[in-house]
């Protein structure tokens, strides 16, 4: 597609349930990022995938959070046993590698509300 | 790891005035410094970036300056307009194979007509 696609756009869940958020990056972009943005807050780094390298998981806040990426395509962010503090917009972004490679194109985000 | 601090958190200016947002970074190896603008309810978008081999870059009414020695960089917006109202994020990344971008906390800019 022409841009980064994320689904669902909105998700309301009950505390303790698991959720999966999906990101479809721009074709040809080898780098993929997940960020969390709480209401009125900044962009909190969660995880980074770059080609076939091991992902950088240093931003994941707890072991309830995990993410996978299939090759250089779709990524899924999974949050297990959701808590109210997980409520946020989860933004996915992708970029090329190489010169000027760090220009990120963001998706519209998945807004997660945990009741 | 890299840490990026951004100030101020909020900034209000009159239309036509200039606005300056400042960021500091911790990793001296960082070499790429973009600025993103996020309008209300929208996704962040790149507005300007600078690499560590230059000290200043301009694009119409916006400019970014970089001081590698002091490890800080700034965004300057001149002749501000109401449509400049948004949240602005600075970021930094290192030249390692991760190229991971770490963002500052954001600055909410309000331009009053």
Residues in B closer than 8 angstroms to A106, CB to CB, are: 43-45
Pair A46, A34: CB distance under 8 Å: yes
Q: Which chain B residues touch A if contact means CB-CB below 8 Å?
A: 1, 6, 32, 34, 36, 43-46, 49, 89, 91, 93, 97-106
CA distances from A79 to A64, A90, A107 (A): 6, 11, 19
| A41 Cα to chain B: minimum distance (Å) | 7
User: Taking the alpha carbons of A28, A33, A36, A39 in that order, is the dihedral positive or negative?
Assistant: negative
Q: Give A71's DSSP letter.
A: T
Residue with tokens 């972009």: A29
How close B91 gets to chain A, by Cα (Å)? 10
Q: Which residue matches tokens 């250089």?
A: A72
Per-residue pLDDT 10s for chain B (113 aa) are 788 999 999 999 999 999 999 999 998 888 899 999 999 989 999 999 998 888 999 999 999 999 999 999 999 999 999 999 999 999 998 766 566 889 999 999 999 99
Closest Cβ opposite residue A42 in set B46, B99, B104:
B104
DSSP A56: B
pLDDT digits (tens, 9 = 90+) for A64-93: 999 999 888 899 999 999 999 999 999 999
Asked if B43's CB is within 8 angstroms of A106's CB, the reply is yes
**Cβ–Cβ contact A26 with B under 8 A:** no
Q: Do A53 and B103 touch (CB under 8 A)?
A: no
What residues contact B111, with CB distance under 8 A and at least 6 apart? B12, B13, B14, B15, B19, B80, B81, B82, B83, B84, B85
Q: Is the pLDDT of residue A98 over 70?
A: no
Strand, helix or coil for residue B60: coil
């Amino acid at each position: 597609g022409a841009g980064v696609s994320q689904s669902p756009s909105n998700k309301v869940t009950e505390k303790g349930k698991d959720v999966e958020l999906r990101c479809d990056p721009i074709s040809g972009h080898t780098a993929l990022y997940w960020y969390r943005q709480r209401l009125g807050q900044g962009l909190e780094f969660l995880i980074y995938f770059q080609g076939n390298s091991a992902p950088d998981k240093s931003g994941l806040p707890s072991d309830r959070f995990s993410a996978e990426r299939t090759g250089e395509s779709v990524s899924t962010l999974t949050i297990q046993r959701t808590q109210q503090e997980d409520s946020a917009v989860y933004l996915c972004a992708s970029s090329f590698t190489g010169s000027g490679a760090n220009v990120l194109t963001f998706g519209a985000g998945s807004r997660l509300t945990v009741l | 790891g890299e840490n990026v601090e951004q100030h101020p958190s909020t900034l209000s200016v009159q239309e036509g005035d200039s606005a300056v947002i400042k960021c500091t970074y911790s990793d001296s190896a960082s070499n790429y410094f973009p600025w993103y603008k996020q309008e209300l309810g929208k996704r962040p978008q790149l507005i300007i970036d600078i690499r560590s081999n230059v000290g200043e870059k301009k694009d119409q009414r916006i400019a970014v300056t970089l001081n590698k020695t002091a490890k800080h960089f700034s965004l300057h917006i001149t002749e501000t307009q109401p449509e400049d109202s948004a949240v602005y994020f600075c970021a930094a990344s290192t030249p390692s194979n991760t190229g991971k971008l770490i963002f500052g906390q954001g600055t909410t800019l309000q331009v009053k007509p």
